[in-house]
Amino acid sequence: MHMSKRRAAVAGASGYAGGEVLRLLLSHPDVEIGAVTAGSNAGERLGVLQPHLVPLADRVLEDTTPETLAGHDVVFLGLPHGQSAVIANALPEETVVIDCGADFRLTDSAAWEKFYGGEHAGSWPYGLPELDGQRDKLAHATRIAVPGCYPTVSTLALAPAVAAGIIDATGIVVVAASGTSGAGKAPKPHLLGSEVMGSASAYGVGGTHRHTPEIVQNLSGLTDAEVRLSFTPLLVPMPRGILATCSAPTTVTAEEAYATYEKAFADEPFVHLLPAGVWPQTKSVIGSNAIHVQVTVDEDAGRLVAVAAVDNLAKGTGGAAVQCMNLALGLDETAGLSTVGIAP
Ligand SMILES: NC(=O)C1=CN([C@@H]2O[C@H](COP(=O)(O)OP(=O)(O)OC[C@H]3O[C@@H](n4cnc5c(N)ncnc54)[C@H](OP(=O)(O)O)[C@@H]3O)[C@@H](O)[C@H]2O)C=CC1
Ligand SMILES: CC(=O)N[C@@H](CCC(=O)OP(=O)(O)O)C(=O)O
């Protein structure tokens, strides 16, 4: 039976996350693109702001209001933090709303207040289908919170080890380097080319980055043991991609660790455990919805070391959003998404 296409609107279509959702929807077999909306750029043609989205070049950006977003099967929100609740609450309950922002990711209001400040909007089903039991919760959900980019890569790099109990989860260290698009398109002085080019820098050091509680929340859901995390993000001079190096105390061998990961990811369409000894690199995942993972054990240090690479805008945001939409609408989870990257 031929099913008519689902109609999707994208709010924040002039931004990086919204742009990536649109790029993916343009080759999705079951979706047609309805309203595209923005803030200060409303009234502008999409072709001026997102010239890579050729089939949408003549589309005019509308204001982001419940009215312009009404009448769609699915609405993607790629808006700054704090903007999603008002829009989502004004849309019908049966509309699938997929929020790329952070507003509905955390379940713990105290953690929200500590790391984001202000009132906690609430929590929605968390859009990481690879977490144990999560795929079922996303099937036919009508509100979904897409994970942060660092939490996606860090959680998946560590999930098999935490779930199998092969690491001491109180000693987790994650250091993750991100490209600049992770910070969004709005101009910021620390993102000027002259600040970023030819330099790598740490930020959000000392347990202060807002993705810390999100990673802890994800990993805590996989174990009864206490989870303690030291997370340090780095900004590196590339447009896309995150490479996360994650480690924790262990007593297993490298072979046992690899076998644990192999088993955990065997049926995951987007998680690719590289052949033993091959280490993830961001260039292999750019534009793809894949996350590449490798694991070993540093026997002298007694630590399991897992490294993972993801495209922050694809599996790290836009791709995850489309994957979640597929589950919510009862479509093939992989529709419109590819594991094939671009090289060199
Ligand atoms: N970049 C990334 O790697 C990731 C981003 N995210 C999340 O996705 C969301 C969007 O991020 P990103 O695309 O990077 O940000 P951008 O700054 O690139 O884009 C923000 C978008 O929101 C619009 N906007 C800003 N203010 C308003 C407003 N008051 N009313 C309506 N629209 C507004 C902008 O429109 P205009 O152009 O008109 O100003 C633009 O389309 C954020 O919540 C972010 O946390 C999540 C994971 C990863
Ligand atoms: C390089 C860079 O600045 N990255 C962003 C994270 C982007 C992302 O996933 O975050 P949210 O959706 O939670 O905003 C940051 O560290 O704030």
Do 231 and 207 sit in the same domain of this protein?
yes
Q: Is residue 136 part of a domain?
A: yes
Q: Tell me, in angstroms, the distance from the centre of ligand 1 to residue 330's CA.
A: 27
Nearest partner of 156 among 338, 289, 297, judged by Cα? 289
Do 218 and 290 sit in the same domain of this protein?
yes
Counting the structural domains of the chain, the total is 2
Active site residues: 149
Do 87 and 161 sit in the same domain of this protein?
no
- Ligand 2 neighbour 102 (Cβ under 6 A): yes
pLDDT tens readout for residues 104-137: 999 999 999 999 999 999 999 999 999 999 999 9
Is the pLDDT at 27 greater than 80, yes or no? yes
- Copy the structure tokens of residue 208: 């202060």
Q: Is residue 285 part of a domain?
A: yes
Q: Is residue 53 part of a domain?
A: yes
- Ligand 2 neighbour 147 (Cβ under 6 A): no
Do 175 and 122 sit in the same domain of this protein?
no
Question: How many CA atoms lie within 13 Å of 231's alpha carbon, on the beta-carbon side?
Answer: 23
- Ligand 2 neighbour 235 (Cβ under 6 A): yes
Do 155 and 255 sit in the same domain of this protein?
yes
Amino acid (one-letter) located at 196:
V
With a CB cutoff of 8 Å and minimum separation 6, the contacts of 55 are 26
Closest CA to ligand 2's atom 13:
148
Identify the pLDDT of residue 2: 61
Q: Is residue 171 part of a domain?
A: yes
Q: Tell me, in angstroms, the distance from the centre of ligand 2 to residue 252's CA.
A: 33
Identify the pLDDT of residue 20: 98
Identify the pLDDT of residue 106: 98
Is the predicted ipTM greater than 0.85, yes or no?
yes
Average pLDDT over the chain reads: 97
Closest CA to ligand 1's atom 21:
12
- Ligand 2 neighbour 241 (Cβ under 6 A): no
Identify the pLDDT of residue 9: 98
Instruction: Give dist(CA 36, CA 329) in Å, integer.
Output: 20
- Percent of the chain surpassing pLDDT 90: 97
- Ligand 2 neighbour 183 (Cβ under 6 A): yes
- CB count, 10 Å around CB of 279? 14
- Ligand at shortest distance from the CA of 233: 2
Chain mean position to CA 126: 11
> What one-character DSSP code corresponds to residue 156?
H
Pocket test for ligand 2, best of 103, 150, 152, 238 (most atoms within 8 A of CB): 150
Closest CA to ligand 1's atom 4:
182
Instruction: Give dist(CA 89, CA 132) in Å, integer.
Output: 29
Closest CA to ligand 2's atom 10:
148
Q: CATH number of the domain that 52 lies in?
A: 3.40.50.720
pLDDT tens readout for residues 44-76: 999 999 999 999 999 999 999 999 999 999 999
Do 287 and 323 sit in the same domain of this protein?
no
Q: Which atom of ligand 1 is nearest to the CA of 79?
A: 22
pLDDT tens readout for residues 172-216: 999 999 999 999 999 999 999 999 999 999 999 999 999 999 999
Confidence class for position 30, pLDDT limits 50, 70, 90: very high
- The reply to whether the predicted model has a pTM over 0.95 is yes
Could you tell me where the DSSP H helices lie in the chain?
A: 16-25, 46-49, 66-69, 84-89, 109-115, 134-138, 149-164, 193-196, 212-220, 254-265, 319-328
- Cβ-in-10-Å burial (0-12, 13-18, 19+) of 33 comes to buried
Do 70 and 208 sit in the same domain of this protein?
no
Q: Tell me, in angstroms, the distance from the centre of ligand 1 to residue 237's CA.
A: 21
Give the pocket of ligand 1 (CB within 6 Å).
12-18, 38-41, 64, 78-81, 83, 100-102, 148-149, 181-182, 184-186, 312-313, 316-317
User: Are the beta carbons of 76 and 303 closer than 8 angstroms?
Assistant: no
Q: Tell me, in angstroms, the distance from the centre of ligand 1 to residue 297's CA.
A: 39
pLDDT tens readout for residues 218-263: 999 999 999 999 999 999 999 999 999 999 999 999 999 999 999 9
Do 127 and 49 sit in the same domain of this protein?
yes
Amino acid (one-letter) located at 27:
S
Q: Is residue 340 part of a domain?
A: no
Pocket test for ligand 1, best of 16, 98, 313, 323 (most atoms within 8 A of CB): 16
Instruction: Give dist(CA 195, CA 217) in Å, integer.
Output: 33
Identify the pLDDT of residue 3: 74
Q: Is residue 246 part of a domain?
A: yes
Do 70 and 202 sit in the same domain of this protein?
no
Q: Is residue 238 part of a domain?
A: yes
Instruction: Give dist(CA 102, CA 9) in Å, integer.
Output: 19
Q: Tell me, in angstroms, the distance from the centre of ligand 2 to residue 5's CA.
A: 32
Do 245 and 278 sit in the same domain of this protein?
yes
Do 48 and 30 sit in the same domain of this protein?
yes
Q: CATH number of the domain that 274 lies in?
A: 3.30.360.10
Nearest partner of 182 among 172, 190, 174, judged by Cα? 190
- Ligand at shortest distance from the CA of 80: 1
Is the pLDDT at 1 greater than 70, yes or no? no
Identify the pLDDT of residue 267: 97
Q: Tell me, in angstroms, the distance from the centre of ligand 2 to residue 143's CA.
A: 21
- Ligand at shortest distance from the CA of 20: 1
Do 115 and 249 sit in the same domain of this protein?
no
Residue ranges making up the domain that contains 44: 6-147+315-328
Q: Is residue 336 part of a domain?
A: no
- Ligand at shortest distance from the CA of 202: 2
